[in-house]
Amino acid sequence: MEAFKAAPTGEYKKKTESLAGESEAGDAPGGLGRLFRAPLLEEFLGIKEIHIEYEGINPTGTHKDRLAMAHAKRAREEGFSGITVGTCGNYGVAIAHYARLFGLRAYIFVPEGYTLERLPEMRTLGAEVIMVSGIYEDAVEASRRFAVEMNVYDANPGSKRDVDFTAYSLLAEQILKRVQPDAVFVSLGNGTTLAGLWEGFKERGARPRMIGVTTAFGNEVLRRFHGDSNEDFAETALNEPLVSGRSFDRDAALLAVMNSNGYVFGFADDTALRCSEVLHLTTGLKTMPASALTLAGLVKFVVKFGIRKGKFVLLLTGGVDSGRGTRPYRGALSDLRWEDGTRARALFQEV
């Protein structure tokens, strides 16, 4: 596919010098998220306006903090003493964190065959971790049964959609205070984030195109959007947050994509890694590769639909190392290179 051409570099110094001033802490509950312009990334891609909603500054480093806080608060209000969820990582850490803040006991079910890089954090935060044989969906089902049997609050995806969608609709409100986007790029697992954001935008009279971005190797929303009957999937350490044999909010996500004239893209792990590196070089952020795929979605969207002059928002998350305090690359755009000496822009010949 045709690569992007570099934008003129005459404004480079002016843009990079003002980058820090473009950032502003969000005013969502707890000060979650940060929305800022990415001028060096704009120049690198030749795209007029790119905004990044960065969730890596949240207490546990991802957008899952929004869900976890909302569910922990609801559990407390309803008189529960415990909260449970099935997870492959980030959501479990967030639930453990907010359960402790709200005085709840956290029971986290995890698939034993997964990477589980964040397992030590869950335990450090006081959660009881229960290993489940099988895949992510098996951990969710085990957690749901536990919630019924032990009378604890069920925070699993699809269990309380009103809480889920409201949590992400507030993120839409936060974005609209700074920019009226033409398209918003969101990584897809269960589809909850994209569906909730769309509800939030609609409620506030905005209708940006909702672009879902996920792994090419096993996500139900991607398969249904493209009419692909192949249900095989390949799980890796990088795509675990995105792989989904059953996307619990599939229908709501697909409806949001179709009603917004959006699209769903899928990419491989190597693209995720390269996007993560480009984002680090141009913005200073250390993002989860699964989240960084939104950048590949933006590139492919612009190539596919020929829209370069819109206002675009990328939703990015951190993780174990969320990149707090990092700084953008300040060299010449032509010098952005990989370790093997090839130009970083070669990424966009592959997307």
Strands 105-111 and 82-86: parallel
Cα separation, 93 vs 124, in Å, equals 10
Last residue of a domain, one of 102, 136, 159: 159
Last residue of a domain, one of 128, 144, 159: 159
Phi, psi of 226 (to 5 degrees): -95, 5
In this structure, is residue 2 part of a structural domain? no
Residue span of the structural domain in which 123 resides: 65-159
Residue 52's pLDDT band (boundaries 50, 70, 90)? very high
The residue that leads in pLDDT, 79 or 328, is 79
> What's the pLDDT score for residue 118?
85
In this structure, is residue 266 part of a structural domain? yes
The residue that leads in pLDDT, 313 or 137, is 313
> Are 88 and 204 found together in one domain?
no
Residue 244's pLDDT band (boundaries 50, 70, 90)? confident
Last residue of a domain, one of 129, 159, 189: 159
> Are 251 and 119 found together in one domain?
no
Reported as a single tens digit per residue, the pLDDT across 83-111 is 999 988 889 999 999 999 999 999 999 98
> Are 217 and 306 found together in one domain?
yes
> Are 141 and 171 found together in one domain?
no
> Are 109 and 203 found together in one domain?
no
> What's the pLDDT score for residue 325?
39
> CATH code at 153?
3.40.50.1100
For the residues 256-275, what does the mean pLDDT come to?
Answer: 95
In this structure, is residue 4 part of a structural domain? no
Q: State the chain's mean pLDDT as an integer.
A: 84
- Contact between residue 220 and residue 247 where contact means Cβ atoms under 8 Å apart: yes
Listed residue (49, 67, 85, 58) closest to 170, CA to CA = 67
Domains contained in the chain, number: 2
Reported as a single tens digit per residue, the pLDDT across 198-231 is 999 999 999 999 999 999 998 999 999 999 887 7
In this structure, is residue 23 part of a structural domain? yes
Q: In what order do the strands lie in the sheet with 49-54?
A: 24-25, 34-37, 49-54, 311-316, 183-187, 209-215, 263-267
> What's the pLDDT score for residue 54?
94
Cα separation, 257 vs 194, in Å, equals 8
Question: What is the residue-wise DSSP string for 48-112?
Answer: SEEEEEE-TTSTTSSTHHHHHHHHHHHHHHTT-SEEEEE-SSHHHHHHHHHHHHTT-EEEEEEET
- Contact between residue 61 and residue 87 where contact means Cβ atoms under 8 Å apart: no
In this structure, is residue 238 part of a structural domain? yes
Out of 66-75, 116-125, 242-251, 329-338, pick the least confident.
329-338
Residue 10's pLDDT band (boundaries 50, 70, 90)? very low
For the residues 308-316, what does the mean pLDDT come to?
Answer: 94
> What's the pLDDT score for residue 349?
57
> Are 135 and 284 found together in one domain?
no
Reported as a single tens digit per residue, the pLDDT across 105-137 is 999 999 887 777 888 999 999 999 999 998 888
> Are 173 and 317 found together in one domain?
yes
* pLDDT more than 90, % of the chain: 61
In this structure, is residue 48 part of a structural domain? yes
> Are 32 and 176 found together in one domain?
yes
> Are 140 and 106 found together in one domain?
yes
CA–CA distances in Å: residue 59 to residues 38, 98, 238? 23, 9, 22
